[in-house]
Amino acid sequence: LAVLLCAAASMTAHGLEVGDLAPDFELQGSDGQTHRLADYRGKTVVIAWFPKAYTRGCTIECKSLAENGSMIRAYQAAYFMASVDPIEDNVGFAEQQKADFPLLSDPSKQTARAYNVLGSSGLAARHTYYIGSNGRIVAIDKNIRPSTSAEDIAAKLAELDVPQVF
């Protein structure tokens, strides 16, 4: 039994990898909707995890996505920012930044744990997950540049051959 527990622990310690089935989630969005990964089957989904609303880097990243979201919307993809902040914080933050996309709240931290982004500080790491139309992870970006986040996501969608909207 101890060997099995150690094996299971080492498997989860590595986290998710490209090709893995993305963990499903059901999270409240700043748009007043509940978002489930399963509702987006057949479409590419981008989840940009961020540490904390109203902080410098997160504000820069959210502003990039709000001001340059048209670059992402040129692709057949749904995109979100997500954090472990309470929904009230993300609603206010989205309004302040004029975000025209949902910010997802995971105050229970279950989804952040499932995506292996929960840091020792209790905040989410700034990682972006790209989930293919089949529900499998097609890319994970751990080197986020907040100021060019929208451009970087659009470039990754092009690299992944995500169809464009015409």
Q: What is the pTM of this model?
A: 0.90
Residue 116 has pLDDT above 60, yes or no: yes
Residue-level pLDDT at 15: 84
Residue-level pLDDT at 166: 79
Residue 1 has pLDDT above 50, yes or no: no
- Nearest C-alpha neighbor of 163 from the set 79, 69, 47, 43: 43
Instruction: Band the pLDDT of 69: cuts 50, 70, 90.
Output: very high
Residue-level pLDDT at 68: 96
Encoded amino acid at 59, one letter: T
Under DSSP, the state recorded for 115 is: T
Residue-level pLDDT at 83: 98
Indicate the range of 5-9, 50-54, 83-87 predicted with least confidence. Answer: 5-9
Backbone angles phi, psi at 44, to 5 degrees: -75, 140
Mean of pLDDT over the chain: 91
Instruction: Band the pLDDT of 14: cuts 50, 70, 90.
Output: low
- Nearest C-alpha neighbor of 142 from the set 53, 55, 61, 49: 49
**Cα distance between residue 90 and residue 77, in whole Å:** 21
Instruction: Band the pLDDT of 49: cuts 50, 70, 90.
Output: very high
Residue-level pLDDT at 124: 97
Residue-level pLDDT at 2: 40
Residues 103-127, mean pLDDT to the nearest whole number: 96
Instruction: Band the pLDDT of 4: cuts 50, 70, 90.
Output: very low
